[in-house]
Amino acid sequence: MNDMNHDSYVTPDGRTIGPVMMEVQNITLRFGGVVAIKDISFDIREGEIRAIIGPNGAGKSSMLNVINGFYHPQEGGIYFRGEKRGPMKPYQIAQQGIARTFQNIALFKGMSTLDNIMTGRFTHMKAPVWKQALWHGEAEREEIENREVVEKIIDFLEIQAIRKTPVGRLPYGLQKRVELGRALAAEPKLLLLDEPMAGMNVEEKEDMSRFILDVNDEFGTTIALIEHDMGVVMDISDRVVVLDYGRKIGDGTPAEVIANPEVIDAYLGVSHD
Amino acid sequence: MLYREAGDYKTSYTDDAQTFPIKLDRWWYYAVVFVAFCIVPFVLTDYTVNAIMLPFLIFAIAALGLNILTGYCGQVSLGTGGFMAVGAYATYKLMTAFPDLNIFFIVILSGLITAIVGVLFGLPSLRIKGFYLAVATLAAQFFLVWLFNKVPWFYNNSASGQISAPERTIFGQAVTGPNAEPWVAYLFCLIFVFTLAWLTRNLTRGRIGRSWMAIRDMDIAAEIIGVNPLRTKLSAFAVSSFFIGISGSLFFAVYLGAAEVGEAFGIQKSFLVLFMVIIGGLGSIFGAFAGAAFMVLLPVFLKIFFVDTLGWPTDIAAHINFLIAGGLIVFFLIVEPHGLAALWRTVKEKLRLWPFPH
Ligand SMILES: Nc1ncnc2c1ncn2[C@@H]1O[C@H](COP(=O)(O)OP(=O)(O)OP(=O)(O)O)[C@@H](O)[C@H]1O
Ligand SMILES: [Mg+2]
């Protein structure tokens, strides 16, 4: 790593962006003959909002799946806070402080909003099973402490009214919000969001953008998000990676990226939804 | 109003998380516990204990156990009969090897042994799901029955191939064996039922219960919040088998007194308990009790009505039993996967607002 990676800088809106938190190096991922990701490298800095954009099938979701351990790339490596990551299972990566949401909502359908978000506290709860079984001191105390944290998230996301509702009954936009809540409950260092605003109307998108900015601002959470809406990307992200057909074709500030001819070609030449 | 929560405000998270948040439910619960412990033992007859109470209590434990595995953790099992057999044979071996060991501890040890066996047979659940897992547990069922039949060590080389429970006492009262009084057998089982139901409640409302349900509802999402799938599934197999082992232990030692494995713990038992869980309601403690009560009482009522009152032959009553149970399974699987418990909840929701529906 060069020296620049250790520098911090202050954004025009006054947020401090720290040194590199995660470095993705020369990742190649193949499914049989299909090359989903081809020799991609980029980094994510502490405290920044990093967008990943690109046409359909560009390999964006696959990239998140590599980062949180669902896919194992054939080549390349990932450095988290300076250390090369060995082969890890998704739950171990979660324990390192990386949380995410999915492109297609992946909530626990049979559980209430509250229980979904409480489940997000999993890695913060330590009472042994026998104490849970007896609802003994530590287990009960831990349950209440974590409930308090969850209630703050519920207030923050303004979903108090649906606290006890089974999530399967909620409209799409609220489900996306609950899924964000579940990821936030883990108090992640790095939060990965796969199209958090897909399928939302303008108002819902504005709410979601505000939540993302607030999470970043209030909790200092580093965020990497995939988004198709260029307006949103321009508004909220500090830096953007552009993928096309599994290759990286652009990387920089939003203004740099939209001025990049290759990016313009990719977006004009490929139809997307 | 018959049933209300209006005006029943919660001022702390402890209150909000309690088992019966509505006052009237709590009173009902206290009343049922009081009647079960302090009144029923005095009014029992041999017939009610053997035909209704003991099978109900013992199968309620098995249904609670299977509900943890299938209802809460989403892992289908057809091995319940086999795991009950493990509990029964563990009890037999322990009773005969350690005549001085208290029967209470023997039952618990049998549960622990069954938990270990359950974990071994749960190992494939990391790789296989749904239908295939059901087939694997079915194989466990047949293997276990075969094992207890084939290896004479398990039945101490007895000529009949049967196992039978010698007399064991607690506080001077016989709990097992021919001299056990009905009320003693009943109370002994009731204590297990009460304690295990309470443990189930605690486990399912806390961290481990949420991790079971997370694996059931969406395993990849469970993983990304830090849930280890193998450990979580195996913990469900362990707890579930612990319950089922205790149930098998009581079924053999307290209820049957003597047993032959294929007859007492065959595949029919696996289906019986599964039906209890489906009819009662997957993922509900109340459902495990409702399902067990239903499946135990149904043949009793059918016999009273068709055989004793109308004078029909017994086998017709038995067939009607199958028809009703089968029909209900299909009904619940299609219309209401959460079983009697969900129907009961709907009734309560209606009553809650009565007479002012909005
Ligand atoms: N599990 C898989 N098995 C086989 N091929 C896969 C798998 N996952 C992704 N791919 C392929 O990898 C390529 C990239 O897919 P990916 O889902 O990462 O795209 P994306 O950029 O997220 O697209 P979208 O905007 O549509 O979500 C596609 O060609 C896809 O078919
Ligand atoms: Mg995608």
What global pTM score does this model have?
0.91
Query: Rounded to whole angstroms, how far apart are CA atoms A125 and A180?
Result: 20
Backbone φ and ψ of A111, nearest 5°: -115, 160
Same structural domain for residues A90 and A195?
Answer: yes
The complex's ipTM works out to 0.91
Residue A106 CA from chain centroid, whole number: 14
pLDDT of residue A13: 81
Rg, C-alpha atoms of chain B: 21
Tokens of residue B190, six digits: 């009731």
Q: Which residue has the higher pLDDT, B24 or A197?
A: A197
Q: State the alpha helices, DSSP H only, in A41-136.
A: 60-67, 90-95, 113-119, 129-134
CA of B34 to the centre of ligand 2 (A): 58
CB contact under 8 A, B226 and A123: yes
**Partner A contacted by B336 (CB < 8 A):** no
Backbone φ and ψ of B259, nearest 5°: -150, 150
A132, A157, A187 - which closes a domain: A187
The ligand that comes nearest to the alpha carbon of residue A52 is 1
pLDDT digits 0-9 by tens, B348-358: 777 766 655 54
Backbone φ and ψ of A72, nearest 5°: -110, 110
The answer as to whether A103 is a domain residue is no
**Partner A contacted by B221 (CB < 8 A):** yes
Same structural domain for residues A3 and A84?
Answer: yes
Nearest alpha carbon, ligand 1 atom 25: A56
pLDDT of residue A1: 41
Residue B335 banded pLDDT, cuts 50, 70, 90: confident
**Partner A contacted by B15 (CB < 8 A):** no
Residue B26 confidence (pLDDT) above 50: yes
pLDDT digits 0-9 by tens, B235-249: 999 999 999 999 999
pLDDT digits 0-9 by tens, A9-54: 888 888 889 999 999 999 999 999 899 999 999 999 999 999 999 9
CA of B98 to the centre of ligand 2 (A): 63
pLDDT of residue B211: 97
The answer as to whether A145 is a domain residue is yes
**Helices A172-185 and A202-219, packing angle to 10 deg:** 10
Same structural domain for residues A83 and A192?
Answer: yes
Which residues of chain B lie closer than 8 angstroms to A110, CB-CB? Answer: 213, 216-217, 283
The ligand that comes nearest to the alpha carbon of residue A59 is 1
Pairing of strands B163-164, A9-10: unpaired
Residue from A88, A119, A143 whose CB has the most chain B CBs within 10 Å, to mutate: A119
Given B217, B218, B225, which is nearest A122 (Cβ)?
B225
Q: Is the peptide bond before A19 cis (omega within 30 degrees of 0)?
A: no
Residue B46 banded pLDDT, cuts 50, 70, 90: confident
Same structural domain for residues A160 and A182?
Answer: yes
pLDDT of residue B70: 95
pLDDT of residue B11: 65
Residues of chain A with pLDDT under 70: 1-6, 268-273
pLDDT of residue A6: 66
Given B13, B202, B221, which is nearest A134 (Cβ)?
B202
Q: Please give the mean pLDDT across all residues of chain B.
A: 90
pLDDT of residue B356: 58
Question: How is B259-273 classified by DSSP, letter by letter?
Answer: E-HHHHSSHHHHHHH
Domain boundaries defined on chain B: 44-266
pLDDT of residue A223: 98
Same structural domain for residues A117 and A83?
Answer: no
Going by C-beta distance under 8 Å and a sequence separation of 6 or more, which residues neighbour residue B337?
B278, B282
Tokens of residue B287, six digits: 């459902």
**Partner B contacted by A133 (CB < 8 A):** yes
**Partner B contacted by A91 (CB < 8 A):** yes
- One-letter amino acid at A220 equals G
Same structural domain for residues A42 and A143?
Answer: no
Residue B150 confidence (pLDDT) above 70: yes
Average of pLDDT values for B105-125?
96
Interface of A with B in 18-37 (CB under 8 A): none
A125, A156, A187 - which closes a domain: A187
Query: Rounded to whole angstroms, how far apart are CA atoms B125 and B204?
Result: 20
Query: Rounded to whole angstroms, how far apart are CA atoms A122 and B213?
Result: 13
Residue B1 confidence (pLDDT) above 80: no
Closest CA to B231 of B119, B118, B137: B119
Average of pLDDT values for B176-196?
94
CB contact under 8 A, B211 and A119: yes
pLDDT of residue B196: 98
Going by C-beta distance under 8 Å and a sequence separation of 6 or more, which residues neighbour residue A115?
A108, B210, B213
Residue whose token pair is 């609220």? A174
Residues B75/B241, Cβ–Cβ less than 8 Å: no
pLDDT of residue B10: 65
- Closest atom of ligand 1 to A63 CA is 18
Same structural domain for residues A197 and A178?
Answer: no
Going by C-beta distance under 8 Å and a sequence separation of 6 or more, which residues neighbour residue B5?
B21, B22, B352
Going by C-beta distance under 8 Å and a sequence separation of 6 or more, which residues neighbour residue A177?
A157, A159, A207, A208, A211
Tokens of residue A183, six digits: 């990821």
Query: Could you give the C-alpha distances from B277 to A224, B116, B209, B212, B248, in angstroms and in order?
Result: 44, 23, 17, 17, 17
pLDDT digits 0-9 by tens, B269-278: 999 999 999 9
Residue B308 banded pLDDT, cuts 50, 70, 90: confident
Q: Give strand pairing partners of A30.
A: A35
pLDDT of residue B194: 97
The whole domain housing A144 covers: 110-187
pLDDT of residue B2: 47
A187, A215, A234 - which closes a domain: A187
CATH for A26? 3.40.50.300
pLDDT digits 0-9 by tens, B65-109: 999 999 999 999 999 999 999 999 999 999 999 999 999 999 999
Ligand 1 close to Cβ of residue A160 (< 6 A): no
Residues counted in chain A? 273
What whole-number percentage of chain B has pLDDT above 90? 65
